[in-house]
Amino acid sequence: MDTLVEQATALDPDLERRRGVLLVGHEGRLSNLVAELTGTRARPLAHGEVVCVQGDCLADLVAGRGTIWFRYPTYDHQDGQLQPKVQSKMTVSTFLAGFVFTALSGLLLLATDRWTVAQVIAVVALASSLALFVACVYIFDQLGMPSGFWTDSSRPRLWRRYYERREHKREERWHAIAEEADAGAADDDARSWAQEGPRYHLMVSTSKVLFTPATWLALIGFLALLSDTEDVRMVVGAGIGLVVAGAFALSRRPDLGAD
């Protein structure tokens, strides 16, 4: 902050009389600067986002007594309300991972001289399901962190180039979106991301890409184990239970959208 004030004063000796100072930069330095000015962590800035911090005087801002007047785009992502949902998803993923691990361990410990096709399918499906559930646990754990800490999170060295390449692609996409907006062509996906925030979209995408396939793989593994019993009563009974439960879930699925 001292260096920032010195540089700004060198450009304008009457800094105290100015109504505002515009600072342009990158993340996570801008988020850290907002924390310095307000004394409170805030969510990271998106590409092209603006945060206006106000204070009674320059001394209040330097002392961290500033307040956020507005952000543009003016979307409230409701990150605080989403955190319990993320925590519940992590809890469910942890429970299912333990359940699948127990079933897989019991299957692998079977004393058998020759594995049947159903048992091999069960092992592959359950092992894949376990890996996906564990990945869900780690992702939901990161999403459960307060958003103000995201900019300071560490990046694994082995994956640093991957993160840099992904950031470069986001930059290119943001420039394309900006050009489309200037031309009057709205991008619904980009607008939805901006309105709902990254936590919501990452939570939903993790559920679709990892959690749902993991659940289906676990179901396939248990169905394979049922078929391996060669007991018609167990297979038919379990099949009826799955059909009834699936039909009930589909019929009672809430539709809370306006359209």
Residue 164: the pLDDT is 74
Residue 116: the pLDDT is 86
- The 10s digit of each residue's pLDDT in 37-64 is 998 887 788 777 899 999 888 888 888 8
Q: Taking Cα atoms as reference points, which of 23, 66, 72, 26 lies closest to residue 49?
A: 72
Task: Looking at mean pLDDT, say which of 22-26, 126-130, 168-172, 239-243 comes out highest.
Answer: 126-130
Neighbours of 122 (CB within 10 A): 24
> How many CA atoms lie within 13 Å of 93's alpha carbon, on the beta-carbon side?
27
Residue 220: the pLDDT is 92
Q: Taking Cα atoms as reference points, which of 242, 244, 228, 253 lies closest to residue 112?
A: 228
Residue 209: the pLDDT is 94
4/126: higher pLDDT: 126
* Sign of the C-alpha dihedral computed for residues 162, 167, 170 and 171 taken in this order: negative
**Cβ-contact 90, 82 below 8 angstroms:** no
Distance CA 194, CA 46 (A): 8
Arithmetic mean of pLDDT, 242-250: 86
Alpha-carbon 50 to chain mean position: 22
Question: pLDDT category, 188, cuts 50, 70, 90?
Answer: low
235/208: higher pLDDT: 208
Residue 124: the pLDDT is 94
Percent of the chain's residues with pLDDT above 90 = 26
Arithmetic mean of pLDDT, 183-194: 58
Residue 133 has pLDDT above 60, yes or no: yes
Residue 174 has pLDDT above 80, yes or no: no
Extract the runs of DSSP E, i.e. beta strands, from the chain.
50-54, 67-72
Phi, psi of 67 (to 5 degrees): -130, 150
Neighbours of 28 (CB within 10 A): 17
Residue 197: the pLDDT is 75
Question: pLDDT category, 3, cuts 50, 70, 90?
Answer: confident
Any idea what DSSP says for residue 207?
Answer: I
Residue 31 has pLDDT above 60, yes or no: yes
Question: pLDDT category, 140, cuts 50, 70, 90?
Answer: very high
DSSP string, 53-110: EE-SSHHHHHTT--EEEEEES-----HHHHHHHHHHHHHHHHHHHHHHHHHHHHHHT-
Task: Looking at mean pLDDT, say which of 51-65, 120-134, 153-167 comes out highest.
Answer: 120-134
> Where is average pLDDT lowest: 29-33, 125-129, 150-154?
150-154
**Cβ-contact 225, 126 below 8 angstroms:** no
Arithmetic mean of pLDDT, 132-157: 81
Residue 215: the pLDDT is 95
SS3 146: coil
Residue 193: the pLDDT is 62
Question: pTM for this one?
Answer: 0.73
CA 186 vs CA 50, 76, 246, 257: distances in Å = 20, 20, 38, 21
For the chain, what's the residue count? 259
Domain segments of the chain: what residues?
Answer: 2-72, 80-150+198-251
Neighbours of 35 (CB within 10 A): 17
Question: pLDDT category, 212, cuts 50, 70, 90?
Answer: very high
